Structure 1
Amino acid sequence: MSGSEPNGLERRRTVRIKRSNLLDLRLDDLDRPAIKIAETQDEYEQSFRLVHDTYLRMGYLKEPQPHGMLFSVYSLLPETVLFIAKSYLTVVSTLTEIFDTEAFGLPMDIIYKPELDTLRAQGRRVVELSALVTPPKLRWRNLFMLLAQVMYHYSVYRGVDDLCIAVNPKHVSFYKTILLFEDFGPERHYPRVDAPAVALRVDMHHIADRLKAVYDSKDLDCNLYLYFHRMTGLLPQYPEKTPIPVKAGAASDQQDVAAPFMNGRKAQIAHHFFQLYPSLWEGLSPSQKDFLTSHYPTLAENTLSS
């Protein structure tokens, strides 16, 4: 953060960081803990059940859903990534990263499309973070920080310009104070969870410098600049004011990195969930169906009606 911040805000941030113990990971009694990208049907189902049960408990979901899972078509898109933390075979925390596409856009378009369109007009590669869930009994283990680190490195690798998120107002302080998200859109009602939301954003071209300014100049045990950058040697190499050459909604040249998984196993996973919830497929527009079948050739409409 710049040196122009009011001293009171800077002091409050420093106190909160010192008290947070965000990087104090307590994993000793987890069975073979692992952080990974979900790649099996079981891992997807466990993640969706975890989101369902958490949202139901928090009141964001009014009634239990069929099969006890909560997900949307965005969860099944080719470039969407589910980061998960596991205790042996059990998914205990999850975070979803959704890449923008012309056919689907992003979930938060429903209330923040004008704001997102300003980024798209600049040719920026935008993603939305969604379904950040850890059960209350495990939150003190800071699994979210492990997922955030992997997500951050993956986003740098994929050439993401902007990380966007719609969060409940009660969580805004954490994202802005600790993770240095910036205001992106005013508070509005989010119909999907029937709750208020605030849009926040991280500009990936400048976040390294901001993390360094806030964390690297203080005597802090919780140094997120080291955590996200220097410890691994992974530093963004983006020239100042030079957008990454991937147009919003366009196929990425880096998409071939995950092509075998996206076109093979993930196609099977998508097919499974569309068969489980036929209305999800039936509610898509022709262009959206064309988009999915172009990426998942085996996902033909006639196979979903069988």
Structure 2
Amino acid sequence: MNAVNRIDSDSRHQMARLLLDEPAPWSILEHEKGKRLLTIRAADCDGERSSAHILVNRMYAARGYTTSTVPDHSSRNRITLVASEEDETVGTITVSFDGPQGLLVDESFAAEVAQLRAEGFALCEFIKLAIDGVVRSKRVLASLMDAAFLCAREVQRCDKALIEVNPRHVRFYETMLGFKVLRRDRMNHRVNAPAVLMSLDLDFADEQVFEAHQDDSSPAAGKRSLYRHGFSPEERSGLVNRLRRTYS
């Protein structure tokens, strides 16, 4: 188990910009009409946060979920990642780190989250995940999730990522990413819908990335896995090295 090793909040935001702002060869996606650049960056200005919020509201409303009416203000305990193609926001996810303020999952699953803390796990949660319905790209989703994994592991050395999902989506997260169910149906009053608490061991996720790119017979490389659509081990290594150079 990794020791809890937190770094200061200002460094966290500096890391996010360094890690994610720079367009690079690994951010090329294949589309029918040719190659288009997918850029994943930290949303650290009001305009980017507003774009992410609009996308979340649109996607959640289409599924009948309730969402907040105003964008989140910048939080030192969160990093919102935005995927864009040609300056158009096509995906977003927010990584929220545990601390004195707790996590949103505490609202519905306080006992389960408290147990994980008591066992010594460093926790984060993935919230407000949305992919533009027009894009529907596994590579966009995989790239966002992979960037979120790296932020969680390299920013605060998190052990586990938590996520609340609709019961209908449990099988997807189990099959595609290896999340495990911790507790079934509770009511999530933020979106006015039932929720299932799931967790992902971030060391397991890291192993799956390597297996997906090195062993074609591995389940991680199968058609029902998102790991084969994420960054290659070499690409991830470059991102991690950039982090280590920043905080050495």
Same fold (TM over 0.5): yes
1:298 equivalent in structure 2: none
1:170 equivalent in structure 2: 168
Equivalences, count: 208
2:62 equivalent in structure 1: 57
1:151 equivalent in structure 2: 148
Letter in 2 for 1:164: L
Match for residue 129 of structure 1 among 126, 135, 148: 126
Distance 1:30 1:57 in 2: 29
1:210, CA displacement in angstroms? 5.8
Distance 2:127 2:180 in 1: 17
**Matched ranges for 1:268-279 at <5 A:** none
**Matched ranges for 1:1-306 at <5 A:** 25-27=29-31, 32-61=37-66, 66=69, 69=70, 71-72=71-72, 76-102=74-100, 104-140=101-137, 142-158=139-155, 159-209=157-207, 216=215, 218=217, 220=221, 224=227, 227=230, 230-232=233-235, 234=237
Q: Which runs of 5+ in 1 are unaligned?
A: 1-23, 236-253, 258-306
Distance 2:230 2:144 in 1: 12
Distance 2:35 2:190 in 1: 33
1:295 equivalent in structure 2: none
1:207, CA displacement in angstroms? 3.7
1:156, CA displacement in angstroms? 2.1
Letter in 1 for 2:177: L
1:226, CA displacement in angstroms? 8.8
Cα distance, 1:81–1:183 mapped onto 2, change above 3 Å: same
Distance 1:34 1:177 in 2: 26
Distance 1:233 1:36 in 2: 15
Q: Is the 8 A contact 2:90 2:131 kept in 1?
A: yes
RMSD: 3.2
Q: Is the 8 A contact 2:29 2:35 kept in 1?
A: no
Q: For residues 78-106 of structure 1, what are the alpha-carbon distances to aligned partners after superposition, in whole Å with 9 as ceiling and x for unaligned?
A: 0301111112322221001001121x211
Q: Is the 8 A contact 1:26 1:141 kept in 2?
A: no
Percent of aligned pairs sharing the same letter: 24
Distance 2:170 2:55 in 1: 22
Tell me which structure has the larger Cα radius of gyration.
1
Distance 2:212 2:30 in 1: 25
Q: Which runs of 5+ in 2 are unaligned?
A: 1-27, 239-243
Q: Is the 8 A contact 1:111 1:188 kept in 2?
A: yes
Q: For residues 226-276 of structure 1, what are the alpha-carbon distances to aligned partners after superposition, in whole Å with 9 as ceiling and x for unaligned?
A: 9466343649xxxxxxxxxxxxxxxxxx9x96xxxxxxxxxxxxxxxxxxx
Q: Is the 8 A contact 2:180 2:198 kept in 1?
A: yes
SS of corresponding position for 2:203: coil
Q: For residues 54-95 of structure 1, what are the alpha-carbon distances to aligned partners after superposition, in whole Å with 9 as ceiling and x for unaligned?
A: 212211028xx65xx4x45xx632030111111232222100
